[in-house]
Amino acid sequence: MEIRALKNEDIDTVVELWYKVSVQAHSFISSDYWEKNKEVMATQYLPGSECYLAIKDEQIVGFVAMVEDYLAAIFVQTTMQGSGIGKNLLDFIKSKRETIQLKVYKNNLRSIQFYKHQGFSVLSESIDESTNEVESYMEWKK
């Protein structure tokens, strides 16, 4: 597996990966919410972040996006989850940071367990105003 920086020509593929995984991982949120955010993801979110892709057999199988020390997104193709891609992407980012913060929906139990296994701790909880879902604020320190 290779990890490389996002290129402009990757954006459409990454947005589709983000959308498909988001709908599956967040079944407690309407798919309309994710559909409405595709444009923002493509035009603002991804271009405005430090984004790296996981490439396997010349295919984009995952990505991680950082905004300073905030983990804005980490997504792995559903058929490849559990194969170490997410851990590799997170380890790659950890090697570049002293601390990382993130928010994850409390109902996304699989992701919360993943982050805890990677050394993150829950610091607080709040309500995401756009979805009315509880989010856990987590942090990792080197």
pLDDT of 108: 92
Low-confidence ranges of the chain (pLDDT < 70): none
Q: Which domains does the chain have, with CATH numbers?
A: 2-141 (3.40.630.30)
Question: What mean pLDDT, rounded, does the chain reach?
Answer: 94
pLDDT of 18: 94
CA angle 98/100/105 to nearest 5° reads 165
pLDDT of 6: 96
Residue-wise pLDDT for 79-99, tens only, equals: 999 999 999 999 999 999 999
Helix, strand or coil, per DSSP, at residue 124 = strand
pLDDT of 26: 85
User: CA-CA distance, 63 to 13, in Å (whole number)?
Assistant: 11
The pTM score is: 0.92
Q: Residue length, the chain?
A: 142
